[in-house]
Amino acid sequence: MMRFYQQQHQFYCGIDLHANCMHACIVDQNGKKYLHKNFNTKRPRLFLAELRPYSQQDLIVGCESTFNWYWLADLFDEENIPFVLGH
């Protein structure tokens, strides 16, 4: 049986994670795009700075299960930002 994340949020961030870069997109409940940008995985604090306005409201972050998702989950855990892993 598959479980699906069904909680509603004001903002949703999807991340396409690669070894050296990640592409992030933030949308609201209506699909309005607020951020659509590439980030260097070696500089996660710059990425967090871009997320800060949304994480201070109601943001959920999702990423597919790739070989290197662990550090991203730890980063969001340290920042108390909800994170879900999908595949």
Domain ranges of the chain: 11-23+39-86
Please report, for the chain, how many H helices and E strands are present, in that order.
2, 5
Nearest Cα residue to 9 out of 58, 61, 78, 68:
58
Per-residue confidence of the chain (87 residues) as pLDDT tens digits? 667 888 899 999 999 999 999 999 999 999 999 999 999 999 999 999 999 999 999 999 999 988 899 999 999 999 999 999 987
DSSP state of 43: -
Residue 2: its pLDDT value, please? 63
What is the pTM for the complete model shown? 0.90
Residue in the block written with tokens 């949304």: 54
